[in-house]
Amino acid sequence: MSDAGTNGAAVVDDAAVASKAQQKADDLQRATEAGWQKPIPFEYEAARSDAGPDDERDNVQWLSDAVVYEWIDEYGEVGPRDEALEQQLYENPEIQRRGGDVGWKNLSFEVLVDGNDKILPFRSFEDAGLHPAILENVHRCQYDAPTPIQAYCIPAVLTGHDVIGIAQTGSGKTAAFLLPILSKLMGKARMLAAPRAIPGGPRVRAEPLVLVVCPTRELACQIFDEARRLCYRTMLRPCVAYGGAPTKNQREQLEKGCDILVATPGRLMDFMKNPNLLSLARLKFTVIDEADELLSSGWEEAIDSLFGAASDTNVDADHTYLMFSATFSKEARKLCRDYMEEDYLRIKVGRVGSTHSNIKQSIVYVEDSQKNQALFDLIFTNGPQRTLIFVNSKAKCDIVDDFLYNKGLPSTSIHSDRTQREREDALRSFRIGSCPLLVATGVTARGLDVANVKHIINYDLPSTMHGGITEYVHRIGRTARIGNEGKATSFYNDRNEDLAPKLVKLLLEAKQEVPDFLEMYKPENPDNIEWNDGTDDESEAGDFGGDFGGGFGGGGDAVDGAGVDAGAANAGFGGDTGFGGDTGFGGGDDAGGFGGGDDEFKPDGQDSKVDAW
């Protein structure tokens, strides 16, 4: 190559670099003028080098190190206030799980309770029979009124029932199980719990009374945060164990004593292998959150061994099992049958009418090659707001994050190939708003509860091979939580045809607009949609059936007044959908189960009722 040629190329290169730099500066200015804060470069190297070898103590603050109320024996039943901790637990935007006036009371819900015993729901936390210290913590969280799942689940657990709780995303299921459990343990914990470590004294073995298992690390931390808030000023000490973070930090927490252990299955199994560290022999309550996901994603064996003969888990009759999800699959049903007492209660909350429209769903046609531009335009049209963008692969997650970042927008991203430090940092930036745009894969985002997520964008719609409509429901459920409003926009093209029929049904059911390009998928009679909910085809149960049953309730009208008896079940849930008197949960045999159709086993005297909320 001649000198002239080399110089010519250099000139062209320089010009290209200059033009790129100018474009970047223009983009940044445009974003700033539109009100977005400056993007913050993420220190990936620093984040990586922070994480030391797995079994060494890491001085970086991990979510598992979050401070809990430190109890000493002299305190009696309720400890003194700690104002600094109160600030952290109830005012810190990183926790931000704030209730407030969520407007549940103005919404109509169908609630179905299935089981041998009647449950009287309560309408205010003051009437729930909660221990005063726990009630005070409810007030500190600013939970003014119970959500429907809480109204039914709390009395059910307080009266000693095993419970399967099914309620839509963002409906307060965590507090629905934590509140009655903690309340029941108050006063008894001293007698039931293992001896505590004395500050500076020898370490103890963790012997929790409560175990909460959930599928993702982020969810485990969220539940742990809720437990920290609800255990404030009590002797009940929560801990969390999850993969990706150094075991040493988590072990040290356990060795201080643990009453409530929130864990992901992998790390839990690791810790269970060390009987000097952890014993489940004192367990009184086991909660499986997001039960269907946990069981459909290869953890069945782990769960089996957790409760099987190999473990020292307390299997006496005084052990209460609670299972929760917004969706329920065949595998989850099997687990229920294996572990639950015969008199378990199944509590299912469906949503009617206006609740659906809390999420404004739009589907727009965008070819793959146009998606970046469409995303950029959409983000600008909507202006600065907390937005969660879903893609279908980890590589795409990085690419879209880079694209937004290079366009001067404050974005970050999360997926399962990131280190746990990176995941925690990304989520923290999203929560506190320094990076209000989060690009995520579906897996990492299940159960995420971040306040004020205004917009969900499905850059990629989930394929039917990977979660399908179930995943769609969970994704859009990250907005409009606990009675708030939100928006979901999905990019659709011919590659998503497999999802189209169910998507259209869902849109119709939720009274959302069906775009012209999806008209052909409309069912013949849109006013009387038939939901193939797995009633007669169990293979479907984890997909749309689970969703519809869990997320959106049946197709009937709301029933006014409480305590409608078994025969009325169809009024709310429809014989073919969800949990009507003719369908529903199978108590005993393999053919039964949720949506068990004709094979349903229904014990004599079973009482089903559908209440309007």
Contact residues: ligand ATP, CB under 6 A: 97, 99, 102, 143, 146-147, 150, 167, 169-175, 326, 447, 449, 477, 481-482
How far does CA 130 lie from the centroid of its chain? 24
**386, 452 Cβ separation under 8 angstroms:** yes
Residue 358: both structure tokens together: 């809390």
How many CA atoms lie within 13 Å of 213's alpha carbon, on the beta-carbon side? 25
Counting Cβ atoms within 10 Å, is residue 138 exposed (0-12), middle (13-18) or buried (19+)? buried
CB of 221 to ligand ATP, least distance (A): 12
53/46 Cα distance (integer angstroms): 15
Nearer to ligand ATP, 371 or 487 (CB): 487
Q: How far is the CB of 480 from ligand ATP (least distance, A)?
A: 11
Q: Write down the H helix ranges in 186-319.
A: 189-192, 217-230, 247-255, 265-272, 291-296, 300-307
Closest contact distance (angstroms) between CB of 552 and ligand ATP is: 13
The nearest distance, CB 411 to ligand ATP, in angstroms, is 23
**Amino acid (1-letter code) at residue 482:** I
Q: Name the nearest CA neighbour of 504 among 493, 485, 517, 488.
A: 517
How far is residue 266's CA from residue 303's CA, in Å, rounded to a whole number? Answer: 10
Residue 475 CB, nearest approach to ligand ATP (Å)? 10
Task: Fill in the DSSP letter of residue 470.
Answer: H
Q: Which DSSP string corresponds to 15-36?
A: HHHHHHHHHHHHHHHHHHHTTP
C-alpha–C-alpha distance, residues 164 and 344, integer Å:
7
Supply the minimum distance, in Å, between the C-beta of residue 578 and ligand ATP: 17
Amino acid at 53: P
Considering the complex, what minimum distance in angstroms separates the CB of residue 517 from ligand ATP?
Answer: 30
Closer to ligand ATP by Cβ: residue 542 or 587: 542
Q: Which is nearer to ligand ATP, 230 or 400 (CB)?
A: 230
We find the least distance from the C-beta atom of residue 291 to ligand ATP, in angstroms, to be 11
Please identify, using beta-carbon distances, which residue of 173 and 282 lies nearer to ligand ATP: 173
Q: How far is the CB of 289 from ligand ATP (least distance, A)?
A: 7
Q: How far is the CB of 399 from ligand ATP (least distance, A)?
A: 27
Instruction: Give the C-alpha separation, 323 to 166, whole Å.
Output: 8
CA angle 486, 489, 490 (to 5 degrees): 145
CB neighbour list of residue 322: distance below 8 Å, 6 or more residues apart: 157, 162, 163, 164, 165, 177, 181, 285, 286, 287, 288
Instruction: State which residue, 48 or 123, has the beta carbon closest to ligand ATP.
Output: 123
The DSSP code for 180 is H
CA pair distance 47, 280, nearest whole angstrom? 34
**Is the CB of 217 or the CB of 602 nearer to ligand ATP?**
217
**Closer to ligand ATP by Cβ: residue 125 or 405:** 125
User: In this structure, are residues 542 and 334 in contact, taking their beta carbons and an 8 Å threshold?
Assistant: no
Q: 333 or 475, CB closer to ligand ATP?
A: 475
Residues 518 and 524: their CA atoms lie apart, in Å, by 13
- Taking CB atoms, the residue at the shortest distance from ligand ATP is 99
Q: How far is 141 from 100, CA to CA, in rounded Å?
A: 8
Minimum distance of ligand ATP from residue 477's CB (angstroms)? 5
Closest CB 297 distance from ligand ATP, rounded Å: 16
Spell out the residues 6+ positions from residue 127 whose beta carbon is closer than 8 angstroms to its own.
Answer: none
Q: Beta-carbon neighbour count of residue 341 at 10 Å? A: 13
Question: Three-state DSSP class for 282?
Answer: coil
Least spacing, CB of residue 112 vs ligand ATP, in Å: 17
* Distance (Å) of CA 327 to CA 42, 392, 496: 35, 21, 22
Quote the radius of gyration of the chain (alpha carbons, Å): 25
Q: What distance in Å separates the CA atoms of residue 571 and residue 592, rounded to the nearest whole number? A: 22
How is 134-176 classified by DSSP, letter by letter?
Answer: HHHHHHHTTB-S--HHHHHHHHHHHTT--EEEE--TTS-HHHH
Pick the closer one to ligand ATP by CB: 122 or 143: 143
Q: Which is nearer to ligand ATP, 157 or 378 (CB)?
A: 157
- Give the residue with the Cβ less far from ligand ATP, 215 or 593: 215
Strand 607-612 and strand 109-115: the pairing is antiparallel
272/469 with CB nearer ligand ATP: 469
- 375 by DSSP, 3-state: which? helix
Q: How far apart are CA 93 and CA 95, in angstroms?
A: 5
For 337, the token pair is: 């049958």
Q: How far is the CB of 146 from ligand ATP (least distance, A)?
A: 5
Query: Residues 341, 346, 350, CA angle at the centre, nearest 5°?
Result: 165
Query: Minimum Å distance from CB 240 to ligand ATP?
Result: 15
Q: Which is nearer to ligand ATP, 172 or 596 (CB)?
A: 172
